[in-house]
Amino acid sequence: MKDLNEVISSDLPELEKTDTRLGDEAQLVVDAGLVTTSWALTLATFHFASKADVSSKLRKELVAAGFATQCQELKKLSYLNACVLESVHLSHGVVVRAPRLAPDQELTYGGWTVLQNTPVSMATIDVLMTRDYSLSPSLSFRSVESRSQSLRDSLWRLEKALDSVWVSSKGCCIKSMK
């Protein structure tokens, strides 16, 4: 684990390099990769089981694709891709604050002006649950089946919101669905 080796060889205080601290960091990496992915699959399964129209439309697309099992073939299935992205969207993972500064400019948020160098806090859930990026105005899985012509535009907006996920370990395989 390159990151843990960097911590060990850094000039951090010894208290930051204890086995317990490094173990906690390693567990966080494992949890971030496994728990969020399993939660996305759990949400997808729930919505497929509880919404017959979503399940039916996905099943029709998969049947029409035949025995498409190669990644390149699956990428062409727009409804499957929408379902995957919406599942990731709704399973935002661990929520932590990520304070940011804009040292060279004022920010505008809604009707508010945030002065230069003012700490602004955001979290992944704030970004992912913004209605601007959701495929669904009601923030539910229902939106996936209601898209036809505008599906590509909606996916693009959702992918933009998922930028916070792309940097994670699960981002590599999910991003390839685009």
List, as own/partner pairs, every contact residues 139-144 make where C-beta atoms lie below 8 angstroms and the sequence separation is at least 24, other chains included: 139/90, 141/43, 141/47, 141/51, 141/54, 141/86, 141/87, 141/90, 142/51, 142/54, 143/86, 144/54, 144/79, 144/82, 144/83, 144/86
Position 118 in a domain: no
Position 85 in a domain: yes
Greater confidence, 47 or 157? 47
Position 122 in a domain: no
Position 107 in a domain: no
Q: With contact defined as beta carbons under 8 Å apart, do 8 and 22 qualify?
A: yes
Total structural domains within the chain: 1
Position 41 in a domain: yes
pLDDT digits (tens, 9 = 90+) for 18-28: 999 888 888 87
Position 34 in a domain: yes
Position 153 in a domain: yes
Position 102 in a domain: no
How confident is the model at residue 149, as a pLDDT?
A: 41
Domain that holds residue 153: 2-95+140-175
How confident is the model at residue 173, as a pLDDT?
A: 43
Q: What pLDDT band is residue 176 in, cutting at 50, 70 and 90? A: low
β-pairing, 112-114 with 107-109?
A: antiparallel
Q: What is the DSSP letter of 123?
A: B
Q: What is the pTM for the complete model shown?
A: 0.54
SS3 112: strand
pLDDT digits (tens, 9 = 90+) for 103-159: 899 988 888 898 998 888 777 676 666 655 444 444 455 455 444 345 555 555 555
Q: Is the pLDDT of residue 8 over 80?
A: yes
How confident is the model at residue 171, as a pLDDT?
A: 46
Average pLDDT over residues 51-80: 86
Instruction: Provide the β-strand partners of residue 97.
Output: 123
